[in-house]
Structure 1
Amino acid sequence: MQSNNPVFRNSEGFSKANAYGNQMYGGNGAAYSGYGSDPSTWSVGSPTGGSPTQVRRSTGPMTIDSVVQKTGICVAVVAVAALATWILTPAVTSTGNLSQIYTAATIGALGAFVLSMVNSFKRVISPALVLAFAAFEGVALGGLSKTFDAQFGSGVVTGAVLGTFAAFAGTLAAYKYLDIRVGNKFRTIVTAAVFGMVGLTILEMVLGLFGSSMGLFGFGGLGLLTAILGLGLGVAMLVMDFDFVEQGIRNRLDDRESWRAAFALTVSLVWIYTNLLRLLAILNNNN
């Protein structure tokens, strides 16, 4: 089953066929009998008839523990970079100081966007690029959170952080205990909606450069609607992430693919946080 999500589409193992092309039985991860031998024993001979040489060294299969560990590292990098940005940027006391924070947030957002595209379409995942993405994302979130804290109060940032982890835990519990199944139609709708939201964000940024705005991501009624829709999309993205991680573990992907799963989960968590932050700010602003 081919994924619509570019993060997982470039990893052949995140499908019903394993990474070596053998079809998998649904549920136990075993290949059809009679089709080849254990892939770990495969090798090629040298052209001169010498001894076989190993093509690729496996680091072992991906496990839930390895995914959790890599995701924890990525989230920690985001948090450290965000905290460093918050501390090192000047206090929000004037327009000039606010401009410096906006500059830091913009640089972080642009760097994170470029690296997210690279990581999404890169066939062989790079841990260094995933961590670089997390660092840039942390800079962007640090600047954004600091401006929201100054404008709406510290309760907004704290609530968004706690709400993000609550959304993650609640979605994981629902996925596990309600036995949620992800179909192709669901993937297509969610992926299209995410790309549509990203496109609207870019359009709003371009219009902002010319002093115009549609108010899609402001603090009015339309901004409230997009924040709620964005939050719902973030939860749907987590469901897709859990489904693909489950398939990857079942198909016994190489442990390196844990970084791909960690990248996808980090993107979903950041997405949820930013929309929660906007939602709480709008609700706080209307009180």
Structure 2
Amino acid sequence: MQSNNPVFRRSEAFNGSQANAYGNQTFPGNGTAYDGYGQTGVQQGYAPAPTTGERMTVDSVVQKTAISLGVVMLTAAITWWWVGDISSPSDASIGTLYLALMVGSFGAFALSMVNSFKRVISPALVIAFAALEGVALGAFSKFIDVFIVGTQAEGLGNNVVMQAVIGTFAAFAGTLAAYKILDIKVGQKFRTFVIAAMFGMVGLGLLEVVLQLFGTGTGILGFGGAGLLFAIGGLVLGVFMLILDFDFVEQGIAAGIEERESWRAAFALTVSLVWIYTNLLRILAIFSQD
């Protein structure tokens, strides 16, 4: 079961470490093959592979994902409180806000790269990523609430952060329901498109940051028309990323991979949900500006 997703691609359990003479993948340490594409097997062609310990299950993925998201929300709340009230750009707390935003963003990005390409998943690194991501989200949410929406905004502006949180979980539930009810099948072209689009958006975002440092830019990270289009594209892409996550969890369970890989699935789901939240928050903020 080869993957273009970098989160799962480095996993020996998801991809197998070698192939036998008949093209079947084998898991490291047991030598037992499961059926490859186009061959007859159980559960869409993937026969369970024996493991020395417990296997990944839906419950184990849910538990690990709940832990990861819990850490994100906890550190985000702590960061929101730690930054304190900000009424103007001259407040002393503004330095704390930018410090939290920079440390959390760059730290989470670095650990996301490590977790994505690490062959053996580390629960500690997943938790560390979640903690730093929470710091970044807490600071970013405070920034949106104060400087984009405005603390005195009426109606939607007063609850934009909470609505983005609710909207994120609604997107998760809706995507999962559609995936199961419509029995969505993920093909190789779809995987390639989603991963390429994800890296493309990340690359454009980093380029925009560099351009802004030199006093120019395209506005795709701003809160105007270009920023709105970029955020809407990011939101749609986040939903596609969730579909990939659901597919790999389903295939991993069918293949009988080890329970520790639940942490890899939890990391991938956390990344997708954070991606959806940040883009949804930007969209709501754009429509809620003073």
Q: Matched residues in 2 for 1:245 and 1:209: separation?
A: 40
By how many angstroms is 1:39 displaced? 4.7
Are residues 1:61 and 2:55 paired?
yes
Are residues 1:3 and 2:19 paired?
no
Kindly provide the CA deviation profile for residues 186-234 of structure 1, in whole angstroms up to 9, marking residues without a partner as x: 0000000000000011111112222222101111111110011000000
Report the equivalent of 1:195.
199
TM-score, structure 2 length as denominator? 0.86
Kindly provide the CA deviation profile for residues 106-138 of structure 1, in whole angstroms up to 9, marking residues without a partner as x: 110000000000000000000000000000000
By how many angstroms is 1:147 displaced? 1.4
Report the equivalent of 1:81.
75
Are residues 1:141 and 2:140 paired?
no
Q: Matched residues in 1 for 2:243 and 2:14: separation?
A: 14
Residue type at the aligned position of 2:142: K
User: In angstroms, what is the RMSD of aligned CA positions?
Assistant: 1.7
Q: Matched residues in 2 for 1:187 and 1:39: separation?
A: 27
**What fraction of aligned residue pairs are identical, expressed as a percent?**
61
- Between structure 1 and structure 2, the one with the greater Rg is 1
> Which residues of 2 match residues 148-159 of structure 1 at below 5 A?
148-151=144-147, 152=149, 153-159=157-163
Of residues 155, 161, 167, the one that matches 2:165 is: 161
Report the equivalent of 2:27.
19
Worse-matched range after superposition: 185-194 or 203-212: 203-212
Q: Matched residues in 2 for 1:245 and 1:13: separation?
A: 12
Q: What number of residue pairs does the alignment pair up?
A: 263
Of residues 115, 118, 125, the one that matches 1:119 is: 115
Residue type at the aligned position of 1:149: D
CA contact (8 A) 2:76 2:135 kept: yes
Report the equivalent of 1:45.
none
CA contact (8 A) 2:84 2:93 kept: yes
Q: Matched residues in 2 for 1:93 and 1:19: separation?
A: 57
Report the equivalent of 2:21.
none
By how many angstroms is 1:177 displaced? 0.5
CA contact (8 A) 2:224 2:286 kept: yes
Worse-matched range after superposition: 1-10 or 206-215: 206-215
Kindly provide the CA deviation profile for residues 155-200 of structure 1, in whole angstroms up to 9, marking residues without a partner as x: 1101100000000000000000100000000000000000000001
Are residues 1:214 and 2:223 paired?
no
CA contact (8 A) 2:34 2:255 kept: no
Residue type at the aligned position of 2:71: V
Report the equivalent of 2:255.
251
Listed as ranges, the gaps of 5+ residues in structure 2 are 16-23, 36-40, 150-156
> Which residues of 2 match residues 225-240 of structure 1 at below 5 A?
225-240=229-244
Listed as ranges, the gaps of 5+ residues in structure 1 are 32-37, 41-57
TM-score, structure 1 length as denominator? 0.87
By how many angstroms is 1:91 displaced? 1.4
